[in-house]
Amino acid sequence: MPDFDPKFVEQTVARIGRSPEALIPILQRLQDQFGFLPAEALEQVCALTDIRPAEVTGVSTFYDMFRHAPVGKHVVRVCVGTACHVAGTDKIADALRRHLHIPPGEDTDAEREFTIESVACLGCCTLAPVVKIDGATIGHATAERVPEIIRDFLAGQNRPATNESTEELSAVGANAGGASATIHVGLGSCCMAKGSDQLFHALRASAARSGAQVNVKRVGCVGMCHRTPMIEVARPGAANRFYADLTPAHAGALLQAHFRPRGLLGRASSLWQRALDGLLVDTEPPAEQVARAEMKVRDSGVQAFLDRQVHIATEHFGRIDPLDLDEYVAHDGFAALRHALADLKPEEIVSVVEQSGLRGRGGAGFPTGQKWRVMHGQPGPDKFVICNGDEGDPGAFMDRMILESFPFRVLEGMAIAALATGAHAGIFYIRHEYPLAVRRVRAAIATLERRGWLGDRLLGANHPFRVSIMEGAGAFICGEETALIESIEGRRGMPRLRPPFPAVSGLWQKPTLINNVETFALVPWILRHGSERFAAIGTAKSKGTKVFALAGHVVRGGLIEIPMGTTIREIVEEIGGGVRPGRRFKAVQIGGPSGGCVPARLADTPVDFESLREVGAIMGSGGLVVLDDTTCMVDVARYFLQFSEAQSCGKCTFCRVGTKRMLDLLDRLCTGQAHRSHLDELKRLAQQVGAGSLCGLGKTAPNPVLTTLRYFHDEYEAHLQGRCPAGKCTALIKYRITADCTGCTLCAQQCPVNAIPLTPYARHHIDLDICTRCDTCRKVCPYNAVEVR
């Protein structure tokens, strides 16, 4: 990281601005540059701008991304989202700390090589547990693999940067002009974390070398995250073929299997490439692997995964290039906006949305048309439309996927909203943890501006509409609309009391329409197909579809869009393929920290706003984490409360102190120090925090506790007696090596804290005073001789 340089601060301020709303972007820039916010830099910001020192300190200590101490050379971010948590992320964090010699209570090792941070959710839930080291995302991490992960990462550092960024490709992207065949490569950030960008480049390189008449094409999220990297080969006159779980080494064979090289020279070089590919893969020739990776669409798994889905927000998923405007237009893109501009009065647009029954997809399910109508009725020309892309629920990544895959669609929805409500300015508020989404939306805006479709004349018509992007700085609470407004205005994201609602008085006290990403993404379809078509999908009060991020203990995790009213059972068992063999489906967690746990016995509950509320959960933004019988429900409740407590803005008493005290009580339960009176107090306090808190975060924070108390009371009772039935609460469990031990020493070798003395050919024993319950011994034992009690 470069040293502090006052010139850089000057330049940054000169470029971004001196007024209060410039504060967060300035701090972000400084942090990017220096790796943290040096005190001198903050002093300088105060001196150079009109921003009050109190704001500078207040804001720079509010958001997670800002650091006030230098970082190490590399930053390791451990995702603590729901899916990662239930997959054991805490053990990975422990292992990383041990391996990197980071002392307890600190975040950086003495040599300042590595800094470890936890991040609320990286939104790669199907790859859980996930660790990100600098720019590299590593999925399916385990504690045992930590040394290997770090070794690979450091080895990669020495390699010259080869992978050309997929974002810098021209939007058209065709590398074989006029080719009739296409290979679609899913390039969402989850896919990329599993190497699909390398595959993409390998395919392009192979195609170029072999001269194959094929267009290797970037597409957005393919939904089936459990099988990525995944491609679809489309050739005229032949059925499309899918390949899953590919690696770059498969590229040559894949092309060879489908496309004949052109000319002798090409053939020669392709043969050469094949030989090379053959060398790279040591077990079997890539061609055979390719054959095995092929998925038949009629393969029951894929069929089941796709069958129940209806793609509206994710229309054309896996087929179109996220940034290819012409392709979007060719697929009816901007037809809805054109129709709105040409044929509809603003209040008619509002009516269509009203009649469609569309409700906000951000969580609360407020009728969208009603919001638009209020906003439409506000006088004055200064109005704002904000797209809320601050998707902070751990275990949810729908909005990231939509922004990455369909930026034009969201922009079109926003533009329609602006037209309907009389707004001329639009703002995207996107989490900074979603860099790819930010890049793609930025590129999409630039493309539209170049074409003259955004700016002074929306789609060439007489309606100015300018769109900008504000990156969040790491605060879950900023998903709450009034906190989001505070954040855009450059302040600490502390919610305002409503009313007044933003549609009346929002950003800069002007009428402001705030809708979630998915809500906007549904609007173009509604205008194209009419409100009746949309209202025909779903249930009486919940119309249309909902996108869910299906993750956790489920066989086929991924991104799905289903009609409202689909039951939990259909989602988990049919789409998701149920839990892993040998395990029992226990519950689903819907709605993240504001939602609840619905037990398996209520799996026939249809997914719609009212039914979910009846069982104590909420729709939320669409995180759906499946839990099997290895999950401790008290631990799950504690996990979510820990999240809410950490993300509370700290403004109101009930949320700031109440969630903390609830967490204290849950900590007691999970460590076997609770009495019945503590359990009673937990129930009482949960009710009061829910009733008394100022904003939605505090009001809903007790939901995971209340629902688990309701459906899994027996587990709370067990914890009162000092037992954790699922064997998750480390303070309540003991590891023991049984008589089945052969003395193979594997556990003793792998134990990271040397709690198992090495006794070859004799039964091993665990020193429970040293043991950290990291579970490594149980996992490595080839004889199942480690038991947990």
Partner 1 sequence: MNDCRIQIDGREAEVPAGQTVLAAARQLGLDIPTLCHLEKCGPLTTCLVCLVKIDGRLVPSCGTKATPGMVVESETEEVHAARRTALELLFSDHVGDCLSPCNLLCPLHLNIPVMIRQIESGDYEEATITVRQALPLAAVLGRLCNHPCEKGCRRGANDDPAAIRELERFVADQDLAHPTPHLQLRASPSGRSVAIVGAGPTGLAAAYFLVRQGHAVELLDRHHEAGGTLRHLAESALPRAVLTAELDLLTRLGVRFKEAVVLGHTHQLAELSGRYDAVVLAIGELAEDEKEKLGVPLAPTGIKADPNTCLTGLPGVFAAGAAVKPVKHLVRAMAEGKAVAECVGLFLRGAAVRRTDKPFSSIMGRLDPGELRLFLQHGNERTRVDPCSACAAGLKRVDAEGEASRCLHCDCRSSGNCVLQHYAQTYGANADRFRSKRRPFEQQMQPGGVIFEPGKCILCGICVKLTELAREPLGLTFIGRGFDVRLGAPLNRTIADGLQKIAAEAVHHCPTGALCFDEKAAAQHVSSSP
Q: Residues in the site for partner 1, rule: CB under 8 A?
A: 39, 42-43, 46, 52-58, 61-63, 475, 492, 497, 499, 645-654, 656-661, 664, 681, 685, 688, 691-694
Q: Which residues pair with 359 in a beta bridge?
A: 367
Q: Which residues pair with 77 in a beta bridge?
A: 117, 132
Q: Which amino acid is at 422?
A: G
Closest distance of CB 494 from partner 1, Å: 8
Quick one: 117 exposed, middle or buried, by C-beta within 10 A (0-12, 13-18, 19+)?
Answer: middle
SS (H, E, C) 397-435: CHHHHHHHHCHHHHHHHHHHHHHHHCCCEEEEEECCCCH
Q: Which is nearer to partner 1, 532 or 610 (CB)?
A: 610
Q: Which is nearer to partner 1, 691 or 753 (CB)?
A: 691
Q: Which is nearer to partner 1, 525 or 654 (CB)?
A: 654
Q: Which residue has the tokens 């459906």?
A: 711
Tell me how far apart the alpha carbons of residues 574 and 570 are, in angstroms, rounded to a whole number: 5
Q: Which is nearer to partner 1, 407 or 474 (CB)?
A: 474
Q: Which residue has the tokens 């409100």?
A: 531
Q: Which residue has the tokens 């895959």?
A: 405
Closest distance of CB 684 from partner 1, Å: 8
Tell me how far apart the alpha carbons of residues 386 and 698 are, in angstroms, rounded to a whole number: 23
- Whether residue 130 contacts residue 122, with contact meaning beta carbons closer than 8 Å, is answered with yes
Closest distance of CB 6 from partner 1, Å: 16
Tell me how far apart the alpha carbons of residues 264 and 285 are, in angstroms, rounded to a whole number: 23
In Å, what is the CA distance from 762 to each residue of 402, 738, 748, 785?
56, 11, 12, 13
> Cis (ω within 30 of 0) for the bond into 103?
no
Closest distance of CB 497 from partner 1, Å: 4
- β-pairing, 384-389 with 466-471? unpaired
Q: Which is nearer to partner 1, 505 or 630 (CB)?
A: 505
Closest distance of CB 676 from partner 1, Å: 16
Closest distance of CB 652 from partner 1, Å: 5
Closest distance of CB 617 from partner 1, Å: 20
Complete DSSP assignment for 425-464: EEEEEE-TT-HHHHHHHHHHHHHHHHTTSSBSSGGGSS--
Q: Which is nearer to partner 1, 107 or 645 (CB)?
A: 645
Angle, CA 729 vertex, CA 645 and CA 757 arms, to 5°: 130
Complete DSSP assignment for 582-644: T--EEEEEESGGGSEEEEGGGTT-B-SHHHHHHTT---TTSEEEEEETT--HHHHHHHHHHHH
Q: Which is nearer to partner 1, 147 or 650 (CB)?
A: 650
Closest distance of CB 659 from partner 1, Å: 8
Q: Which is nearer to partner 1, 433 or 645 (CB)?
A: 645
Q: Which residues pair with 234 in a beta bridge?
A: 182
Closest distance of CB 45 from partner 1, Å: 10
263 Cβ partners below 8 Å, 6+ apart?
211
Phi (first) and psi of residue 538, to 5 degrees: 100, -155
If we measure between CA atoms, which residue out of 268, 270, 266, 287 comes closest to residue 278?
287
Q: Which is nearer to partner 1, 621 or 647 (CB)?
A: 647
Q: Which is nearer to partner 1, 61 or 240 (CB)?
A: 61
Tell me how far apart the alpha carbons of residues 172 and 329 are, in angstroms, rounded to a whole number: 13
Tell me how far apart the alpha carbons of residues 722 and 718 are, in angstroms, rounded to a whole number: 6
Task: Looking at 6-124, list the stretches that DSSP marks H as alpha helix, in order from N- to C-terminal side.
Answer: 6-16, 23-34, 39-48, 53-60, 82-86, 89-100
Start-to-end C-alpha separation, the chain:
48
Q: Which residues pair with 549 in a beta bridge?
A: 559, 623
Closest distance of CB 702 from partner 1, Å: 13
Closest distance of CB 544 from partner 1, Å: 29
Tell me how far apart the alpha carbons of residues 517 and 366 are, in angstroms, rounded to a whole number: 14
Closest distance of CB 673 from partner 1, Å: 12
Q: Which is nearer to partner 1, 424 or 678 (CB)?
A: 678
Closest distance of CB 118 from partner 1, Å: 14
111 Cβ partners below 8 Å, 6+ apart?
72
- Whether residue 247 contacts residue 230, with contact meaning beta carbons closer than 8 Å, is answered with no
Closest distance of CB 376 from partner 1, Å: 22
Q: Which is nearer to partner 1, 678 or 765 (CB)?
A: 678
- Whether residue 674 contacts residue 668, with contact meaning beta carbons closer than 8 Å, is answered with yes
Q: Which is nearer to partner 1, 654 or 712 (CB)?
A: 654
Q: Which is nearer to partner 1, 473 or 709 (CB)?
A: 473
Closest distance of CB 374 from partner 1, Å: 16
Q: Which is nearer to partner 1, 63 or 711 (CB)?
A: 63
**CA 504, 505, 506, 508 torsion: positive or negative?**
positive
Q: Which is nearer to partner 1, 489 or 574 (CB)?
A: 489
Closest distance of CB 493 from partner 1, Å: 9
